[in-house]
């Protein structure tokens, strides 16, 4: 099969052990990102199977209509970026193994790395030292005895809460009723409200899925309740925070710091994002799940789905109706 892989920014896929499983196929890997339908249609004109890295590129009807040879889209986890109805009409099968039961430890680890980096000003102090200065003007803040606010106690949120406990922090949780019950069973304190979570916490870390009900859930008013010394961390989705609210809140001094791994439009190129210009913000380029072990798991499943289709026994099929749609 002709297999195309999009958005492999770091040219990592060909170095994975699982890449050997598709050695007998013609694989083309694109490292740069584009959402231009004309460019994508040209790049993918011979593709029979398309492998996607999470939600980096949207696959809509206009593009699908240009891809006459495409038979399969293989990916892992949720698929809000794919027009499934258009896939079905075009006879394109979508195979997507949903995320495993275990949480993304890589994302939880990154969140904790951002917390330490921001609170102790590690990036700023490193840059100052390389520039010939010794200890910057702003002193960092330790974590022991401080309050960690975990907004969303799902798989990742629970892991981050455990890290907070190990660091001697007082952990405070808020979220949906079902997750609050789970946090209470794990002996964590529960905030009386979302407002209290933001007001009491020295660090607020977001661990929520982005759906219509959670879009813009963190408001300007929430951020204004935070302490001037507090930090907000977002390794989930940029859309959880109301547009422009974080930049305005940081300018107003509440909270005093932010650590961000996700952005409204990705990739962010040419340093064209207002948060990148702020000294009190630590920014990383959506590295949450981007870790070699996670990528091995992801592409192991993606390639398994492609090989199953090639063998005539597709697996993890989202739209089985597509099997009979193509003549």
DSSP strand E in the chain: where?
2-5, 26-29, 49-51, 72-76, 93-97, 147-151, 170-174, 189-190, 203-206, 231-234, 257-260, 281-283
207 annotated active-site: no
Radius of gyration of the chain (CA): 22
Residue 289's pLDDT is 93
Report pLDDT digits (tens) over 201-232.
999 999 999 999 999 999 999 999 999 999 99
Contacts of 269 (CB under 8 A, 6+ apart): none
- Is the pLDDT at 16 greater than 80? The verdict is yes
pLDDT band at 100 (very low <50, low <70, confident <90, very high): low
- Give the per-residue pLDDT at 96: 98
Instruction: Give strand pairing partners of 205.
Output: 150, 233
Domains annotated for the chain, with CATH where assigned, are 2-100+292-324 (3.40.50.720), 105-283 (3.40.50.720)
Q: Is the pLDDT at 317 greater than 90, yes or no? A: yes
Question: Which range is least confidently modeled, 9-18, 76-85, 91-100, 153-162?
Answer: 91-100
Catalytic residue among 266, 291, 296, 321: 266
Reply yes or no on whether the pLDDT at 288 is more than 80.
yes
* pLDDT the model gives residue 182: 96
Using CA atoms, how far apart are residues 18 and 295, in angstroms rounded to an integer?
Answer: 10
326, pLDDT greater than 90: no
**266 is annotated as an active-site residue:** yes
Burial class (CB in 10 A: 0-12, 13-18, 19+), 223: buried
Asked about 237 being catalytic, the answer comes back as yes
Catalytic residue among 71, 90, 207, 237: 237
The mean predicted confidence, pLDDT, of the chain is 96
């Amino acid at each position: 099969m002709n297999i195309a892989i999009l958005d492999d920014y770091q040219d990592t896929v060909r170095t994975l052990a699982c890449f050997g499983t598709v050695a007998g196929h013609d694989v083309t890997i694109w490292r740069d990102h584009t959402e231009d339908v004309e460019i994508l249609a040209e790049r993918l004109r011979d593709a029979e199977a398309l492998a996607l890295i999470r939600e980096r590129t949207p696959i809509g009807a206009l593009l699908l209509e240009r891809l006459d040879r495409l038979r399969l889209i293989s990916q892992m986890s949720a698929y809000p970026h794919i027009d499934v109805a258009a896939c079905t009409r075009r006879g394109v099968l979508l195979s997507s193994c949903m995320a495993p039961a275990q949480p993304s430890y890589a994302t939880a680890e990154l969140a904790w790395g951002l917390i330490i980096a921001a609170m102790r000003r590690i990036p700023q102090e490193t840059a100052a030292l390389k520039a010939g200065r010794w200890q910057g003007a702003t002193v960092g803040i330790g974590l022991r005895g401080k309050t960690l606010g975990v907004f969303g106690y799902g798989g990742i949120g629970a892991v981050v809460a455990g890290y907070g406990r190990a660091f001697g922090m007082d952990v405070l949780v808020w979220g949906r009723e079902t997750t609050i019950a789970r946090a209470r069973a794990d002996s964590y304190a529960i905030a009386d409200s979302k407002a209290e979570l933001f007001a009491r916490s020295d660090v607020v870390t977001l661990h929520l899925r982005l759906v219509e009900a959670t879009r813009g859930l963190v408001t300007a008013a929430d951020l204004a309740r935070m302490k001037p010394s507090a930090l907000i961390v977002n390794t989930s989705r940029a859309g959880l925070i109301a547009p422009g609210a974080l930049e305005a809140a940081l300018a107003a001094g509440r909270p005093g710091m932010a650590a961000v791994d996700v952005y409204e439009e990705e990739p962010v190129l040419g340093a064209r994002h207002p948060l990148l210009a702020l000294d009190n913000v630590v920014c990383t380029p959506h590295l949450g799940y981007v870790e070699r072990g996670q990528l091995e798991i992801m592409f192991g499943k993606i390639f398994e789905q492609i090989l199953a289709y090639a063998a005539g026994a597709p697996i993890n099929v989202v739209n089985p109706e597509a099997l009979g749609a193509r003549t």
